[in-house]
Amino acid sequence: MKVKNFISILFLTISTILVTNANAQDGWENLFNGENLDGWIQRNGEAEYEVVDGEIVGTTVAGTPNSFLCTEKNYSDFVFEVELLVEPNMNSGIQFRSLSLPDYNNGRVHGYQCEVDPSERAWSAGIYDEARRGWLYPLDLNPDARKALKMGHWNKYRIECIGNSIRTWLNDIPVAHVIDDMTSEGFIALQVHGIGNNKEKEGEQIKWRNIRIKTENLVPDFYSDIHVENLVANNLNIVEKKQGFHLLFDGQSTDCWKNANTGEFPEQGWQVKNGVLTILSSRQDSSKKGGDIITKEEFGPFEFKFDFMYTDGANSGVKYGLGNNGPSIGLEYQILDDEKHPDAKKGVVGNRTMSSLYDLIPSSKERRFTKGPNEWNRGRVVVYPCGKVQHWLNGRKVVEYTRGDNIYKALVARSKYAGFEGFGMAEKGPILLQDHHDTVHFRSLKIRNL
């Protein structure tokens, strides 16, 4: 069914391309005239940009921050292409829909960046939100694409922005797909990353050529089955739909949910407001508690995406693998204010901290990929048919284990769940959102069967 649907889209797209082809061929505009930097303006750092043999050459300079060679014009919807040749020890990127505003950090260039990353991490063509939200699409989300950059060769980047859909390709390999509506228009810029005061890193070069853009008669390129990172609240993108996702919360209705014990949605303790599903604190008055809620639907292997925002000192969690030990005993993606809630210090080696498999496996999250209280975090749990399970946080894989294998059994046998026969092993069960008396917000709850 999935393949069939993709093929339908594909034919639709091909047909549209054929119809619009005559215009499309003519629609490209060169952004670089091959001779000088007319139409471009350098901002922020003072790395060197020059034109040599029909190419723009950027060179690292010590003691200056990130530098950006920016188009004078702004662009909204477009397809942008560039070829680039980068030396191994530098970092670069292509800004798009980017801004430099006097009242934002003294004109600091900020916004979407398509990464150029020759390092071992190899996240080239991943999407970073420069000087704003940080990584939106790290290549944990598309590990196969980490091989796309070819060192010592010209690499062809393509960025497609149409409406809220942002996609990248590197050497024709689909790399990233973000759905976002934070900034709809801005300049394009070629970055030379700062190198601090490290004189040894000075003189590294990146070259750009064949820089062109198309802004009219745009048609989305073929869709591929890569992960979609959708930052628009309670939204399902066309690709997510084709991948089989459906919303468990559309911003208004709680129809998919019920109290884990009563079978009815709680009359108090949970609130829907402005597209957000919220657990209201019952710390002061536990009679106000709404209790854990579970999906009415049950799931075998699944992929569950969820945004969550905890408040100061809060505790909550997303549970799965439920049903064979009562309604609330199962595997838990922990949600916690690690700084302020005492449970973060309990358990062992941090296995009760945020995004851990509660009391079993600590999350390997890094601070820079972790949002604090009152900010949205992007959570994700994937339970594969083969038994492999993953916890994700903001595009990074932070926990991976195999449910039911010998390591799993050994972990459970020395955890607080030791007494529960077949703990977490239910073949099918609901997803649970835990009411732990604290205010925690959820949105963009979406799931598919795997």
Q: Which residues of the shown chain bind its own copies in the complex (CB under 8 A)?
A: 348-349, 351, 360-364, 399, 401, 405-407, 409-411, 413-415, 418
* Residue (1 or 349) nearer to its own copies, CB: 349
The smaller minimum CB distance to its own copies, of residues 257 and 408, is found at 408
CB atoms within 10 A of CB 127: 28
Q: Which CB atom, from 10 or from 410, has the smaller least distance to its own copies?
A: 410
Q: Give the residue with the Cβ less far from its own copies, 40 or 358.
A: 358
| Amino acid of residue 91 | N
Q: How far apart are CA 84 and CA 90, in angstroms?
A: 13
Min dist. Cβ of residue 433 to its own copies (A): 25
Nearer to its own copies, 171 or 334 (CB): 334
- Spell out the residues 6+ positions from residue 242 whose beta carbon is closer than 8 angstroms to its own: 2, 5, 6, 9, 223, 225
Question: CB of 382: closest distance to its own copies in angstroms?
Answer: 17
Characterize the bridge pairing of strands 388-393 and 377-383. antiparallel
Least spacing, CB of residue 124 vs its own copies, in Å = 22
**Residue with Cβ nearer its own copies (106 or 406):** 406
Looking at the Cβ atoms of 60 and 351, the one nearer to its own copies is 351
Please report how close the Cβ of residue 387 comes to its own copies at its closest, in angstroms.
Answer: 13
3-state secondary structure of 112: strand
For residues 158-192, one letter each, b for 16 or more C-beta atoms within 10 angstroms of the residue's C-beta and e for the rest, the string is bbbbeebbbbbbbbebbbbbbbbeebeebbbbbbb
Instruction: In whole angstroms, give the CA distance from residue 304 to residue 45.
Output: 41
CB of 137 to its own copies, least distance (A): 24
**Smallest distance from the beta carbon of 384 to its own copies, in angstroms?**
17
Q: Nearest approach, Cβ of 398 to its own copies (angstroms)? A: 9
Q: Please report how close the Cβ of residue 21 comes to its own copies at its closest, in angstroms.
A: 42
Residue 285's Cβ-count burial label (10 Å; 0-12, 13-18, 19+) is exposed
- Cβ distance to its own copies smaller for residue 361 or 440: 361
Report which of 173, 176, 153, 152 is spatially closest to residue 165, judged by C-alpha positions.
176
**Nearest 5°: CA angle at 78, between 239 and 395?**
45
Among residues 92, 82, 88, the alpha carbon closest in space to that of 28 is found at 82
| Residue number, 241 or 416, with CB nearest to its own copies | 416
**Which residues, in sequence order, are CB contacts of 55 under 8 Å at separation 6+?**
207, 208, 209
Indicate the residue among 19 and 413 with the shorter CB distance to its own copies.
Answer: 413
Q: Decide if 231 contacts 134 (C-beta within 8 A).
A: no
Cα 222 off chain centre by: 21
Q: Which has the closest alpha carbon to 450: 380, 397, 354?
A: 380
Compute the least distance from the CB of residue 396 to its own copies, in Å.
13
Q: Backbone phi, then psi, for 140, in 5-degree steps?
A: -50, -30
Q: How far is CA 423 from CA 56, 355, 415, in A?
A: 60, 19, 11
What is the closest distance, in whole angstroms, from the C-beta atom of residue 303 to its own copies in the complex? 22
